[in-house]
C-alpha cells in the first residue's frame, strides 16, 4: 500500500468519483483512508456543553483504498504506484504510467546502490534467452 497521508488522490468510483483531494489519514489495518471532502456526512448533534448550539457537524467517513488512486500531476489522472530503488540506493515511489518519481520512502542504503537492480534483472533475462 503506497498511498500516504498528504497525498493527492483521485476518487475512481462511487458518488465522489472524479474528485481529486488530499488524504488526511490512512488506516492500514482497515485498508481505508479519510480523504478531504470525500464521503462527507452530517452528524446531527444535540445541544451540549461542547456544542451549545447543537446542529449539524460535517465530517468525512473513511473510504476503501481501492476506490482511490494516487493522482499523478504529469499524467493528470489517478495512477498506480510502484516502488523502486534509485541509483544512490534509496527507495522511492513512482508512477507506473509515466515513470516519474514521486518521493523517497526509504533512505539511501549501500546494498541497494547503483546497479543492484540491474544485476537482479540480468540473470532473469539470460535464463529467458536460453529457453
Residues within the interface to Zn ion (CB under 5 A): 72, 74-75, 95, 97-98
Q: Which is nearer to Zn ion, 30 or 98 (CB)?
A: 98
Asked if 10 contacts 65 with a C-beta cutoff of 8 angstroms, the reply is: no
Supply the minimum distance, in Å, between the C-beta of residue 7 and Zn ion: 13
- Identify whether the C-beta of residue 125 lies closer than 8 Å to the C-beta of residue 117: no
Q: 63 vs 72, which CB is nearer to Zn ion?
A: 72
Is residue 105 a contact partner of residue 92, using CB atoms and an 8 Å limit?
Answer: yes
Q: Distance between CA 89 and CA 118 in Å, rounded?
A: 12
Q: Which is nearer to Zn ion, 13 or 74 (CB)?
A: 74
Q: What are phi and psi for residue 117, nearest 5 degrees?
A: -80, -25
Smallest distance from Zn ion to CB 99, Å: 7
Nearest distance from residue 108's CB to Zn ion, in Å?
24
Amino acid at each position: 500500500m503506497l498511498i500516504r497521508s498528504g497525498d493527492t488522490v483521485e476518487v475512481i468510483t462511487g458518488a465522489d468519483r472524479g474528485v481529486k483531494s488530499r488524504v488526511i489519514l490512512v488506516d492500514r489495518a482497515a485498508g481505508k483512508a479519510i480523504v478531504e471532502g470525500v464521503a462527507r456526512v452530517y452528524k446531527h448533534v444535540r445541544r451540549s456543553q461542547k456544542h451549545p448550539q447543537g446542529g449539524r457537524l460535517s465530517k468525512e467517513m473513511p473510504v476503501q483504498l481501492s476506490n482511490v488512486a494516487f493522482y499523478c500531476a504529469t499524467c493528470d489522472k489517478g495512477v498506480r504506484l510502484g516502488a523502486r530503488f534509485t541509483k544512490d540506493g534509496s527507495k522511492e515511489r513512482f508512477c507506473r504510467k509515466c515513470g516519474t518519481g514521486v518521493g523517497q520512502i526509504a533512505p539511501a542504503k549501500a546494498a541497494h546502490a547503483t546497479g543492484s537492480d540491474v544485476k537482479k534483472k540480468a540473470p532473469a533475462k539470460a535464463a529467458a534467452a536460453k529457453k
